Structure formats: structure tokens, C-alpha cells
Chain A
Amino acid sequence: MSRLLIRGARLFGAQAADLLVEDGIIREVGSVRATGDVEVLDADGLVALPGLVDLHVHLREPGREDAETIATGSAAAAAGGYTAVFAMANTSPVTDTAEAAERVLDLGRACGLTQVVPVGAVTKGLAGAELAELGLMARSRAAVRVFSDDGHCVHDARVMRRALEYVKPFGGVISQHAQDPRLAGPDACCHEGEVSGRLGLPGWPGIAEESIVARDVMLARHTGSRVHVAHVSTAGTVEVIRWAKAQGIDVTAEVTPHHLALTTDLLVGYDPVYKVNPPLRPTEDVEALRAALVDGTIDAVATDHAPHARHDKEHAFADAAFGMLGLETALSVVSEVLVRPGLLDWAGVARVMSTSPARIGGLAAQGRSLSEGEPAHITLVDPDREVTVDATTSRSRSRNNPWHGRTFRGAVEATVYAGRITHERWTTSRTHRPLTTATPGADL
């Protein structure tokens, strides 16, 4: 029997308590007197959150194992405090069949560092034309519930309508990459605005996102289905979602750490590390996104972790690949831009980074409370530790890290997935002491 005692963590940032974990389940909460063979994690001063859940990552396997694998992506997830990640379908081959989804599931399980949940494609080959085998993916061992053509917008209104209708019987949700391909031309590579005008970069306007979200919430109302808006990036989208929720439309939304913290001004140096889809937007949008996350209009933070090999980024800006890393830094970014300024407390962080994404993604065993009988998915955070991001030490196989050199206060100290420590940061002041307090016969 494996036993773990987490001592003195502040649950959701509130009362300090000990957590005794046995066989992947939280057995006792409070002042725990553990006896016998137990591993002790001294969490004095740390905040305990339910394990983080990321609705949106790209793990690149199968197809681009040179950029990331399920193993390296899982390690990055564990280091970032994640106990579940939803792996997007735009791999090669695409996750558009039950077999492909089960393979992702199995590779994730074999790795065992985090729960890897495959996302199924909405359309075959992400081509936007014919529905993929949504039902078979849902019935498979992978029990797929989230479907997305992420990287591409399901832009055909009829296809989107059918997809929304079709997933209703098995409680599925369509996660939409909202971007009208006609308003965002094939060359678009950044936010359309003053910066793109000056830099001579073809941009795409906020309306390319907003018009699709407006259509999709109306489709969700019409079909009585559930739609999820991936990586919201504009203030206009926030307005549409706020309105839709007020109407009772079943819509949820996520925002990335980079859209909460980085702005389009960073593009002046043409550094492709800042090239991402949807693009970095102006300050007004960033502020609206923060406010929307705080007031619940946006439900969740999702990283859109998008590793790329160096040689896919070292092109002219217009030719470089879209995307940036995010798994290892998300909690620190949220701590820096939302918790420290007092916009969000740690219970709020638990809501947007664990509880809500778990609910949206249909993961019954994740995003739970830290109480007796619950699965032991736990993230321990030091709210005061300063970290300076060093891209070269990433667990990811890629280095396209926009946070390199930035300093944040608040960092993940340890991650417990299904009762096992999948990540821990050792310090001299908070030494993890395996077995030292568990010598047979000792009664502590």
C-alpha cells in the first residue's frame, strides 16, 4: 500500500491541513497522525489545489515526435502542476478515429505522469467537410467527449450545426477554433492593427474570431447543444459570450496564459517566438480577457501548449510556425497577472485551472474538492517563490518559449497524480523526506 502524507498545506489557499493519501485516494484531511510506512511531503506555507486540468495542448505525437512526444509533453504537464491534459487532434495522422484516440490514451497511460485525454477531430482529417466518427470515438476506450478541429475553424455553418447536434446523445462538446478563414486570409500572421500596419505584416482582425463565436452561440441555442470557445482572444468575443450566457445558451470558453499577459507590441522585433494563433492582441483585449476570467464569462485557462522544432520557427516571421509553449509556466503566469494584483484568489485559480476545465471536458475524477474519499490529484503551489523562466531547462522537447527570461512570483512545487508524486521541486528549506518519519515502530 502506497501512502503519502502532505503536511500543512493551505487547502485552496485557506486553512492549513494535512492530507493523507492512500492508494490514490485522499483518506484523511485535517490534523493527521500517520503511522507506519509513509512518505512525507512538508508543504508548510504551500497552497494545495486540485490537480490542474488543461483543455488544450498539442503533444505532437504521432507525427512530430521531434517537437514533442506524449512522454515529454506529460513531463512538462506534471512540472506545470497538471494532472490532466487534453491532447488536440491535429497530429499526423489526425485523431479522427477510435483507434487513433485509443493509441493516444494508451501512450499517455504508459507514461503515467498525467492523464492524457485525447480530443477527437470534428471532421475527417480536419478538412472541415465531413464529420469524423464522433460516435465511435465516444464509445471507444478513450471515451472522447471533446471534439475540435483546432488549428482550423469549423467554418461551414452546416457542418458545425450537424456536429453540435450529433454529439448531444453522448454529452460531447465542440471546442471551436473561432476564426473565419475568409476574414483571416491565408497569409495572416498577427493581429490586424496599428502594429501590423507599421510592420507590413498581413493581419487578421478580431472580427474574424468574433463573427464565428456569434454564429456558434446562435447555433448552440438553435440546436440546444454545448459549444466551447477555444482560446478567446478579443474583447468583442468576451461581449458575445457574456451575452450568450445571459441568454442561458450552453457556452463555455477558455483563455490562454499568453493572451492574458502578452500583447501585440512584442512583434516589433519580428521574433517568431511571439507568432501564435490566435495572435497576441492589444492591451485593451488583454484587460478584457482578465476581467472576463475573473467574472466567470470565461470559464477556464488553457495553455494551447504548442511545441515546435527550432527549424520550424527560424524562418521569416510570415513563414514560421504558429504556437508557443505553455504547460510549465501557466500557473506562474496566472499567479503573476491575476493573483498578485488581487484579481483572483487561490480558490479562483482552482476554479479556472481545475474545476471548470474538468467539468467542461467531462472528467468526473478531476477538479474535485480536497476532501476524504476524493481521488488524489493535487497541485502544491508556493505563492511567494520567484521563478525566472529558463527555456533551456524545459521538459518539453521544444524551446519556443515566449516567457524565457521573465520572472514570476508563484510557482508549482509538487504535483500528485493519482496519489503518486509526478513532479517535485527539492529545496534545502523544504526537503522531501522519504521514509525518514516512517521507520517501523515510530509513532509520529
Chain B
Amino acid sequence: MTRHLISSADLSRVEVEDILETAASMHDLQRREVKKVPTLRGRTIINFFFEDSTRTRSSFEIAGKWMSADTINLSAKGSSTSKGESLRDTAMTVDAMAVDALVIRHNASGACHQVAQWVRCSVINAGDGTHEHPTQALLDAYTLRTRLGDLDGKHVVIVGDLTHSRVFRSNVITLKTLGARVTVVAPPTLMPSGIAAWSAADGFATSWHLDPVLDGDGEHGPVDAVMMLRVQRERMSGGYFPTAREYTVGYGLTRDRLDRLVARNDDVLVLHPGPMNRGLEIAPEAADAPQSVVLDQVSAGVAVRMAVLYHLLAGDDTPAPPLAAATTDGAAR
């Protein structure tokens, strides 16, 4: 594994599986009364969030703290103009404090990629603009594997605002890495430009119509999991779709659609990276259904981020991760 985690494409199948196995042992740790382990004692991690975030930031912070790293949260808003300090200066300033890792959330696509070229510390992408969110894809894969086992040949459907979704961009890579089959569904206005060539090259399917995909019509085949993406209401003013009502009718996981899905496959999984717009892209009945693993995703978030920090930051002097002897080779990376 490289020094950084910028894109889901940085990880090979073996590396993804390594991380997910480590995450499983970390997940066990979460169920203990005393959760803290000394694994990253003496390491310093800065969570640098240029954009608001609740779950991602808190889960990185918890992950660092449970592993005894010193974690510091920084936020810098208003970085979207070229006025003020340059991104390079900001990155160099933090790097000069000799931190070990920089976890970055930025509103601009590619920001983490750029920062990684300027700093000595490890850079972890916690979401860059509408580009990628690799730890989200890892925790989604973790959640899916926990329920479905090996993902080879499993069919995952991703529905929603693909254009503006970093969750989609990372998931389509990681799911493919793990051998899953992916179909993405959105109205044409929310499909990223050039997706025809892109999907052909990367081997995933696209559709403007949700129902035939969920019903497994023709080549689509049976569905193992549905991942609903958040649709931001301001997209309506951008003319991407006319009204919330129309969006829900076309692309929402409604109660009726859930019933049909479950009728075909009782073990189907419903995922959502959150925060959910209940009633827009996902009906409350779907969000709270037994098939929903939304809270499992959140819970996995901490374990997966612990695993990522371990794999990037652990050195020769680092003890093996807790309970990891059985699931990883314990070698420092």
C-alpha cells in the first residue's frame, strides 16, 4: 500500500481485503468496554476539513483516538476563492508541524491529490469535491461483505445524483476491484459527462430507468444491494430535475419499490451514505426496513478508518492491531 489514500484506484484487491480484514478486528474492539489500544501512540493526525462534515470527521477522530494517536481537528471554510492563503501554503504549514497524517476533506475535486505532492506526511482523502471518497467505499464494501460474503458477481445498484457524487465515484472502483457487478441509475441530467465511454471502459452498466433494473429485467439480473445517494435539494434550482415529487416518482426508493425488491429477494440490502432526505430519495419505510444497513455503515466507518490509519501509519515499532493475529499477517506496512 502506498503512503497515501487519495483514490480508491490506489488500492489493489489484496490491499482492500487486507484493510477489510483489519477492520473486522477493529470492529470487535468497538464492542469492548475499554476501546482504546496503544497502536498509534505518539502519532499525530490532523483532520483538516475545508468543508462541513459530521459523520466522516467524527469517525476519523474516534478512529484516531481509539488507537491512541493525537488527533487534532482543523477547519477552514471559504477556501473556494483564489483569495487568501494558497492551498499549497496551507498544506506546507501543517506539514511543517511534523504531523504523521493529514486527513483532508475539501470542497474542490483533486485537492488531496495536489496536497499529497507537496507534503511529507501521509494524506488520506476524506472526500474531495465531487471526485472521490475512498474510505466511504471501503466502509460500504465492509458492510456489504459482512452480509453478503464475497462480493464476486454480486449485483449492486447505485441510484441518484451521480454527477455530484464522490461516493459513487469511489464505490464504482472499489466494488469493481472486489469483483462485484455495478449498475448506476440516474436521470440524464445527473449522469456525469462522458459516462457512456467511462462505463464501457470500466465495466459497469448505466440506466435512466430504475424499475427495470430493480426488477432484474433482461440483462440487468437479480439485485443484491441498492445504494441510494443523497440528492441535494439545490439541484432543482440548477435545473437538474423539476420537483422533488417528480424525482421520487422516477428515482426514489419508495415503499412500493422496496416491497417489490423484497418480494424478489428477502436478503436484499439497502444502503445510504447519509445524511438521508427521507421522503425524497428514500422512503422512511425503506430507510428503517430490516434490509436497511444504514447504521451498520456508520458503525463500520470507525472500524474501517482505524484499519486505514493502521495500514498507512503503523511502523516497525507498532504493535499488531488488537485481535488481529488471526485475521492479518500482522506485518507492519
Segment among A28-36, A54-62, A199-207 that sits at the interface with chain B: A199-207
- Chain B residues contacting A269 (CB-CB under 8 Å) are 113
Residue of B nearest to A195 (CB): B194
A210 to B98, CA, bound (A): 50
Residue of B nearest to A204 (CB): B193
Q: Do the beta carbons of B113 and A315 come within 8 Å of each other?
A: no
Does A193 make an interface contact (CB < 8 A)? yes
Contacts between the two chains (Cβ within 8 Å), count: 91
Q: Do the beta carbons of A192 and B193 come within 8 Å of each other?
A: yes
Does A321 make an interface contact (CB < 8 A)? yes
Does A320 make an interface contact (CB < 8 A)? yes
- Chain B residues contacting A23 (CB-CB under 8 Å) are none
Q: Do the beta carbons of A270 and B113 come within 8 Å of each other?
A: yes
Does A408 make an interface contact (CB < 8 A)? no
Indicate with 1 or 0, residue by residue over B250-262, a CB within 8 angstroms of chain A CB atoms: 0000000000000
Residue of A nearest to B194 (CB): A194
Set A194, A201, A314, A315: member contacting B109, Cβ < 8 A: A201
Q: Do the beta carbons of A319 and B129 come within 8 Å of each other?
A: no
- Chain B residues contacting A194 (CB-CB under 8 Å) are 193-195, 197-198
Residue of A nearest to B92 (CB): A314
Q: Do the beta carbons of B110 and A319 come within 8 Å of each other?
A: no
Residue of B nearest to A267 (CB): B110
User: Closest CB-CB distance, B191 to chain A, in whole Å?
Assistant: 8
Q: Do the beta carbons of B193 and A200 come within 8 Å of each other?
A: no
User: Closest CB-CB distance, B80 to chain A, in whole Å?
Assistant: 6
Interface centre among A199, A316, A317, A318 (most CB of B within 10 A): A316
Q: Do the beta carbons of A316 and B108 come within 8 Å of each other?
A: yes
Segment among B83-91, B146-154, B293-301, B310-318 that sits at the interface with chain A: B83-91
Interface centre among B89, B193, B198 (most CB of A within 10 A): B193
Does B95 make an interface contact (CB < 8 A)? no
Restricting to A204-263, which residues have a CB under 8 Å from any CB of B? 205
Q: Do the beta carbons of A316 and B130 come within 8 Å of each other?
A: no
Does A312 make an interface contact (CB < 8 A)? yes
Q: Do the beta carbons of A200 and B114 come within 8 Å of each other?
A: no
A40 to B79, CA, bound (A): 57
- Chain B residues contacting A317 (CB-CB under 8 Å) are 108-111, 114
Q: Do the beta carbons of B110 and A314 come within 8 Å of each other?
A: no
- Chain A residues contacting B111 (CB-CB under 8 Å) are 270, 316-317
Does B279 make an interface contact (CB < 8 A)? no
Q: Do the beta carbons of B108 and A199 come within 8 Å of each other?
A: no
Given the contacts A316-B87, A318-B129, A319-B87, A197 and B192 also touching, CB distance less than 8 Å: yes
- Chain B residues contacting A316 (CB-CB under 8 Å) are 79, 87, 106, 108-111, 114, 129
Q: Do the beta carbons of B110 and A315 come within 8 Å of each other?
A: no
Q: Do the beta carbons of B193 and A203 come within 8 Å of each other?
A: yes
Restricting to B107-128, which residues have a CB under 8 Å from any CB of A? 108-111, 113-114, 128
Q: Do the beta carbons of A196 and B194 come within 8 Å of each other?
A: yes
Does A311 make an interface contact (CB < 8 A)? yes
Does A198 make an interface contact (CB < 8 A)? yes
- Chain A residues contacting B114 (CB-CB under 8 Å) are 270-271, 316-317
Restricting to B61-90, which residues have a CB under 8 Å from any CB of A? 79-82, 86-89
Does B169 make an interface contact (CB < 8 A)? yes
Restricting to A310-342, which residues have a CB under 8 Å from any CB of B? 311-312, 314-321
- Chain B residues contacting A196 (CB-CB under 8 Å) are 192-194
Does B155 make an interface contact (CB < 8 A)? no
Does B132 make an interface contact (CB < 8 A)? yes
- Chain B residues contacting A198 (CB-CB under 8 Å) are 169, 192, 194, 198
A197 to B193, CA, bound (A): 5
A114 to B330, CA, bound (A): 68
- Chain B residues contacting A318 (CB-CB under 8 Å) are 80, 108-110, 129
Q: Do the beta carbons of A193 and B109 come within 8 Å of each other?
A: no
User: Closest CB-CB distance, A345 to chain B, in whole Å?
Assistant: 37
- Chain A residues contacting B192 (CB-CB under 8 Å) are 196-198, 200
Set B108, B132, B194, B195: member contacting A319, Cβ < 8 A: B108
Does B131 make an interface contact (CB < 8 A)? yes
Q: Do the beta carbons of B82 and A270 come within 8 Å of each other?
A: no
A269 to B111, CA, bound (A): 10
Given the contacts A194-B198, A200-B129, A314 and B87 also touching, CB distance less than 8 Å: yes
User: Closest CB-CB distance, B230 to chain A, in whole Å?
Assistant: 15
Q: Do the beta carbons of B82 and A315 come within 8 Å of each other?
A: yes
A316 to B116, CA, bound (A): 12
User: Closest CB-CB distance, A148 to chain B, in whole Å?
Assistant: 23
Q: Do the beta carbons of A314 and B88 come within 8 Å of each other?
A: yes
- Chain B residues contacting A200 (CB-CB under 8 Å) are 109-110, 128-132, 166, 169, 192
Indicate with 1 or 0, residue by residue over B149-182, a CB within 8 angstroms of chain A CB atoms: 0000000000000010010010000000000000
A235 to B85, CA, bound (A): 39
Q: Do the beta carbons of B109 and A319 come within 8 Å of each other?
A: no
A205 to B194, CA, bound (A): 11
- Chain A residues contacting B110 (CB-CB under 8 Å) are 199-201, 270, 316-318
Given the contacts A200-B129, A270-B110, A315 and B193 also touching, CB distance less than 8 Å: no
Given the contacts A194-B198, A197-B192, A312 and B169 also touching, CB distance less than 8 Å: no
Interface centre among A192, A193, A197 (most CB of B within 10 A): A197
The 5 closest A-B pairs by CB, nearest first: A194-B194, A270-B110, A316-B108, A197-B192, A200-B131
Identify the A interface with B (CB < 8 A): 192-203, 205, 269-271, 311-312, 314-321
Identify the B interface with A (CB < 8 A): 79-82, 86-89, 106, 108-111, 113-114, 128-132, 163, 166, 169, 192-195, 197-198
28 A-B residue pairs with CB within 8 Å: A194-B198, A195-B194, A196-B192, A197-B193, A198-B192, A199-B109, A199-B131, A200-B130, A200-B131, A200-B166, A200-B169, A201-B109, A270-B109, A270-B113, A270-B114, A311-B89, A312-B82, A314-B86, A315-B86, A315-B88, A316-B79, A316-B106, A316-B111, A317-B108, A317-B109, A318-B80, A318-B109, A319-B108
* Apart from A271-B114, A317-B108, 16 more pairs, CB < 8 Å: A192-B194, A194-B193, A194-B194, A194-B195, A197-B195, A197-B198, A198-B198, A200-B132, A201-B110, A202-B130, A270-B110, A270-B113, A315-B88, A317-B110, A318-B129, A319-B81
